[in-house]
Amino acid sequence: MILTDTVETRAAQTLPRSLYAEEDGPWARTALTGRAEADVAIVGAGILGLSTALALAEAGTSVIVLEANEPGWGASGRNGGHANPGLKTHPDEVLRDFGQETLTWAYGAPTTLAALIDRLGIDAEFRQGGTYRAAVSEAGLRDVEALTEALIRHGIPARFEDAAAMEAATGCTRYHGAMLDPVGAQVNPLKYTRGLARAAQAAGAVICCDSPVTRYAREGAGWTVATPGGSVTAGQLLIATNGYSGPLVPKLAQSLIPVFSAIAASNPLPEALRGQILAGGGVLYETGTVTIYYRVDAAGRLIFGGRGQMEEADGLPSVAVLRQLAERTWPGLAAVGWCYGWNGRVAITADHYPHLHALEDSGLVAVGFNGRGVALTTALGPRLAEHLRGTPGALPFPVTAIRPIPFQKFWPVGVNAVLGADSLLRRLRG
């Protein structure tokens, strides 16, 4: 029997204060107690763990999801809500590295999400207004022009929007041009994640909250997975802990850079501003070292995100730089005011691709969505489920060894040096 490093247990945490958590209220949490059995055990109830659990349960495979806190507590319940097509990497590189099937799959991920929300009837404020990749510099303009050309070459219905079109779309003069992929969409991420959790439960999955997995061990042909309150015996094991991966899987946390991304939510915009900023329901992210991203939600609030402090944030003071940038971009915002500020961990990999790793012969780790996980993990879950059920060739990425990033433990220092508040503000001023 192989025992992994043990994980220190800590008190379970409620959802961080955010617009989403305040609007949606508490979740009924039940912890694992005693011994349980399932075909598959999943660690982590984010979009990935839950979309995999849903697909398994719908296929008749018994599954238990073990979550340290509650569904959506990690990045899935606190993100920007952009369902973006594709991977972070240029489509030519994706084609070279993984082939046409993976490229098509990744660019179709928002469509997969749209179909799932529709099929399950999840009320998650879904709106498919397209994704803009918007250039804030001449170099960025060349980047988005080339990207648009490449996407069209790959049969993806992207188009180039010039500076005048971007001013009309955003009500500001910040952009030299943009690539618009009409498949991109927006969603309330906590409502979506909870909708997935409910659907998985309705299909027969068991979701245990306040159940941090402290150790897993090989037992016979399967696994035992332990939490402070009990244990699960399962034939297969999936680790879906992404930016919140701790010491549970040796070297896993060292293979990821868990960069914080922060979000400021405004009060509902007055009609005039609402008509100017992404009124078509689209989502936008910018080119450049510091990615700024935003959308206007169903209540007309600007949900404005970007890099911020490299520690847990809580409240509006922690997102002051983002608020300043937004108010400079749309001066009318200063009078509207802001209601929430929060942040969370995005799991960045060295090659900017998602990573799949094997745990012996029947366990799998899936992490590293590089700020693209909303649509991607939705589309990946059913593929992981097929793989766990024994279908060969179901995975869109190869299974690789875990590779720690050299000097990973110094990441907060490095990121702060590049993105410290002063430097961040300078870069954002662009």
Ligand X SMILES: Cc1cc2nc3c(=O)[nH]c(=O)nc-3n(C[C@H](O)[C@H](O)[C@H](O)COP(=O)(O)OP(=O)(O)OC[C@H]3O[C@@H](n4cnc5c(N)ncnc54)[C@H](O)[C@@H]3O)c2cc1C
Q: Which of 69, 112, 148, 349 binds ligand X (CB under 6 A)?
A: 69
Least separation in angstroms between residue 359's CB and ligand X is 14
Name residues whose C-beta falls within 8 Å of residue 110's C-beta, 6 or more positions apart in sequence: 83, 84, 85, 128, 131, 183, 184, 185, 375
Q: Does 192 bind ligand X (CB under 6 A)?
A: no
Q: Does 86 bind ligand X (CB under 6 A)?
A: no
Q: By CB neighbour count within 10 A (0-12 exposed, 13-18 middle, 19+ buried), where does 332 fall?
A: middle
Cβ-contact 239, 51 below 8 angstroms: no
Q: Does 281 bind ligand X (CB under 6 A)?
A: no
Q: Which of 15, 21, 41, 43 binds ligand X (CB under 6 A)?
A: 43
Q: Does 40 bind ligand X (CB under 6 A)?
A: no
Q: Which of 36, 38, 40, 47 binds ligand X (CB under 6 A)?
A: 47
Nearest to 189 by CA among 384, 400, 24, 419: 24
Q: Does 226 bind ligand X (CB under 6 A)?
A: no
Pairing of strands 185-186, 82-83: antiparallel
Q: Does 44 bind ligand X (CB under 6 A)?
A: yes
Q: Which of 40, 41, 49, 102 binds ligand X (CB under 6 A)?
A: 49
Least separation in angstroms between residue 104's CB and ligand X is 18
Q: Which two tokens stand for residue 380?
A: 């990946």
Least separation in angstroms between residue 164's CB and ligand X is 27
Q: Does 212 bind ligand X (CB under 6 A)?
A: yes
Q: Is 125 left (phi over 0), alpha (psi -120 to 50) or beta?
A: left
Q: By CB neighbour count within 10 A (0-12 exposed, 13-18 middle, 19+ buried), where does 378 fall?
A: buried
Q: Does 110 bind ligand X (CB under 6 A)?
A: no
Choice between 217 and 334, CB closer to ligand X: 217
Name residues whose C-beta falls within 8 Å of residue 22's C-beta, 6 or more positions apart in sequence: 340
Strand 177-181: give its sheet, edge to edge.
Answer: 159-162, 177-181, 131-135, 283-286, 293-296, 302-307, 257-266, 338-348
Q: Which of 15, 40, 53, 80 binds ligand X (CB under 6 A)?
A: 80
Q: Which of 84, 131, 231, 318 binds ligand X (CB under 6 A)?
A: 84
202-211 burial code (b ≥16 CB/10 A, e <16): ebebbbbbbb
Q: Which residues pair with 146 in a beta bridge?
A: none
Q: Does 273 bind ligand X (CB under 6 A)?
A: no
Q: Does 66 bind ligand X (CB under 6 A)?
A: yes
Q: Does 372 bind ligand X (CB under 6 A)?
A: yes
Q: Does 369 bind ligand X (CB under 6 A)?
A: yes
| Dihedrals phi, psi of 98, to nearest 5 degrees | -130, -15
Q: Does 258 bind ligand X (CB under 6 A)?
A: no
CB atoms within 10 A of CB 287: 22
Least separation in angstroms between residue 238's CB and ligand X is 11
CA distance linking residue 211 with residue 227, whole number of Å: 6
Q: Which stretch binds ligand X (CB under 6 A): 52-60, 91-99, 348-356, 364-372?
A: 364-372
Nearest to 132 by CA among 324, 328, 280: 280
x/- mask, ligand X, residues 124-153, rule CB under 6 A, reads ------------------------------
Q: Does 374 bind ligand X (CB under 6 A)?
A: yes
Residues near ligand X (CB under 6 A):
7, 43-49, 66-69, 73-76, 78-82, 84, 212-213, 240-244, 246, 248, 261, 263, 293, 305, 343-346, 369, 371-375, 377
